[in-house]
Amino acid sequence: MRNFEYQKADSVNAAVTAHAGQASSFVAGGTTLLDLVKIDIMQPERVVDVNGLPLYDVEALDDGRLKIGAMVSNTDLAYHPTVVEKYAVLSEALLSGASTSLRNKATTGGNVMQRVRCPYFRDGVSACNKREPGSGCAAIGGHNRSVHAVLGTSEQCIATHPSDMCVAMAAIGAKVLVTGPNGEREIDFLDFHLLPGDSPEKEHALDVDELITHVVLDAPIEGSRSTYLKLRDRASYQFALASSGVIVATEGNTIRDARIALGGVGTKPWRAREAEQALIGEPATEQSFKKAAEIAFKGATPYEHNAFKIPLGQQAIVRSLTHATAARA
Amino acid sequence: MSETSTAAGGISACSITLQLNGQRREVEVYPWTTLLDLLREQLHLTGTKKGCDHGQCGACNVHVNGTVINSCLSLAVMHDGDEITTVEGLSENGELHPIQQAFLDEDAYQCGYCTAGQMMTATYVLNSSHIGDSDDAVREAMSGNICRCGAYKNILAAVQSTRGKV
Ligand SMILES: Cc1cc2nc3c(=O)[nH]c(=O)nc-3n(C[C@H](O)[C@H](O)[C@H](O)COP(=O)(O)OP(=O)(O)OC[C@H]3O[C@@H](n4cnc5c(N)ncnc54)[C@H](O)[C@@H]3O)c2cc1C
Ligand code: SF4
Ligand code: FES
Ligand code: FES
């Protein structure tokens, strides 16, 4: 591994200060950062350890929202009683990601910031606009089956955002709280991850030296049920080919409110707003779900090897909505 | 943690203290030394294995403060003051730990390369109140431990036969 300086911060402000002035990376769990430093894709000269920051709490706010510290592990968040009870989609998404031991290390902030799994990005030599702006994209016209998107792609980059947790957060709605050299601000979760467009090297809305301190989930929709369905090449320990996180509230058999977010198919955690709108006021039937699923992929662009993701993603939506609205004994 | 005078490329090694398999150990590490490399290369605790070095196989799994993690994706300096248990720390007073005995009894390995990591995850899984006790729940919870020899069936049997003994 390349050599770098190490500094352990004991406060948010100290972390931001230590990060400034040279090529630095924060390290939380290290499960993305060290993976990529070892293959020299990320090249920090200084690593700022944020494990000593007081960001380990999950706090219910008076307005019904849930404030999650950036250092809360994926395991602790998945099993937190409030998350299990009120945000099942998030608990299920977290538990579908990575492995037991990785989830113990992976943090909320680090998961939001995880990098793409595109093999051409990781190999260090192929044309890749994300790694080396202007060099091209080896995935377009290359092997683009499993970790490449059909929604939100551009001619510069088609890599999927790999997170499961973020799909659930996109469905729930959230704010990302950050602190930087100019103080604190909040970013809407749906604005946090950026479409690749003409600058795929720019992946998120953080400014230089800004640190994520919390993610605040919107209050759960009254009377809703939620679930996460992840479809992949093997049953466990694999990134999504397509996934669907849904939240639905029904009045009798009529859909009163609905949220749909998709993973494995989009270049960012993908919220399918038009599909949601098409469900509201409709009966909770397979026919309504199919119509919504079609709308969700209306603008999709298939590439040579991943066209199957369109029907797969649609089926994921139908099945997760069916599950979330099924009568319970 | 304190800095020492040792230097490589102008960067100092740091002195950290671990509670390793029940013993207090003070060691000097460079910032880029992973916990796995510290254990194997500096402390010669070679029971913990390096499979992929990228979080993909679980061969390097150890316990940190009672939680199982992949030691290849953690920096040693991040563990100042931590309690670390490796496979060498499983047995007590010369007696095999029940999970070790079960791996023997169930023939839960072929080459044995993945075994230490399997056992470290298994002991965590058996003690976690969140993870169910069905075969499927155990398979899911242990899916991050790859066995290239394909001993999965016997590994599952070893884990299940240890239930209640740890
Ligand atoms: C083998 C393997 C399989 C995986 N499978 C899945 C999967 O199926 N689903 C899934 O969703 N994920 C998966 N992951 C990814 C995993 O979820 C992420 O690596 C993890 O969530 C990152 O969290 P971390 O705390 O370890 O981040 P780190 O590695 O510590 O940090 C990641 C990035 O975020 C930055 N950072 C960290 N904390 C902050 C902060 N508070 N503010 C600002 N920046 C910060 C770091 O500088 C770095 O750039 C897998 C990973 C591996 C290695
Ligand atoms: S899809 Fe994106 S990450 Fe992959 S090679 Fe193209 S530009 Fe790079
Ligand atoms: S060596 Fe750490 S997971 Fe493979
Ligand atoms: S016994 Fe050989 S890898 Fe598992």
* Cα–ligand 3 centroid distance for B51 (angstroms): 5
For ligand 3, say whether the CB of B70 is within 6 Å of any of its atoms: yes
- pTM beyond 0.90: the answer is yes
Encoded tokens for B10: 């102008």
State the fold for domain A224-325.
Enolase-like; domain 1 (3.30.390)
Region B71-95: what's the mean pLDDT?
A: 97
Q: How far apart are CA A34 and CA A7, in angstroms?
A: 15
Encoded tokens for A254: 């009529």
Domains of chain B by range and CATH?
2-88 (3.10.20.30), 98-161 (1.10.150.120)
Q: How far apart are CA A240 and CA A320, in angstroms?
A: 15
Are A224 and A257 within 8 A, CB to CB?
yes
Encoded tokens for A211: 């640190």
For ligand 2, say whether the CB of A149 is within 6 Å of any of its atoms: no
CA A201 to chain CA centroid, Å, is 17
DSSP string, A121-168: HHTSSS-BTTTSTTS-BTTTTS--SSSB-SBS--SS--BPP--SHHHH
> Would the pLDDT of B1 be above 90?
no
Ligand 2: atom nearest CA of A119 is 4
> Would the pLDDT of A29 be above 60?
yes
Are B104 and B42 within 8 A, CB to CB?
no
For ligand 2, say whether the CB of A138 is within 6 Å of any of its atoms: yes
The 10s digit of each residue's pLDDT in B2-50 is: 555 455 578 999 999 999 999 999 999 999 999 999 999 999 999 999 9
- Phi then psi for residue A66, to 5 deg, are -125, 120
Q: How far apart are CA A218 and CA A63, in angstroms?
A: 9
> Would the pLDDT of A212 be above 90?
yes
Amino acid type, B53:
D
Identify the sign of the CA torsion A165, A170, A173, A176: positive
The 10s digit of each residue's pLDDT in A67-117 is: 999 999 999 999 999 999 999 999 999 999 999 999 999 999 999 999 999
**Which residues make beta-bridge pairs with A177?**
A186, A214
Q: How far apart are CA B20 and CA A218, in angstroms?
A: 42
Q: Which alpha helices (DSSP H) does A138-214 contain, by range?
A: 165-172, 189-192
Q: How close, in Å, is residue A84 to chain B by CA atoms? A: 11
Q: How far apart are CA A247 and CA A226, in angstroms?
A: 4
Q: Which ligand is nearest to the CA of A269?
A: 1
Per-residue confidence (pLDDT) for residue B10, from 0 to 100: 85
CA A177 to chain CA centroid, Å, is 16
Extended beta strands in chain A, E state? 5-8, 24-27, 46-49, 58-60, 66-69, 174-180, 183-188, 211-217, 225-231, 242-251, 254-263, 270-271
Q: How far apart are CA B58 and CA B155, in angstroms?
A: 14
Pairing of strands A58-60, A66-69: antiparallel
CB contact burial B53-63 (16+ within 10 A = b; e otherwise) = bbbbbbbbbbb
10 Å Cβ neighbour count for A208? 9
Q: Tell me if A4 and B32 make a contact (CB, 8 A cut-off).
A: yes
The 10s digit of each residue's pLDDT in A283-299 is: 999 999 999 999 999 99
Mean pLDDT of the residues in chain A: 98
To which H or E segment does residue B13 belong? Answer: strand B11-20
Is residue B1 less than 8 Å (CB to CB) from chain A? yes
Domain boundaries, given as residue ranges, for chain A? 5-50, 224-325
CA closest to A46 among chain B residues: B31
The 10s digit of each residue's pLDDT in A34-66 is: 999 999 999 999 999 999 999 999 999 999 999
**Which residues make beta-bridge pairs with A270?**
A262
Place of tokens 């242990």: B142
Cα A168-A248-A246 angle, rounded to 5 deg:
30
Is residue A49 less than 8 Å (CB to CB) from chain B? yes
Inter-chain contacts counted by CB atoms under 8 A, chains A and B: 92
Q: Tell me if B70 and A1 make a contact (CB, 8 A cut-off).
A: no
Q: Which CATH class is domain A5-50?
A: alpha beta
Q: Rg (Cα) of chain B, in Å, rounded? A: 17
Q: Which one of A6, A27, A102 has the shortest CB-CB distance to B144?
A: A102
* Cα–ligand 1 centroid distance for A293 (angstroms): 30
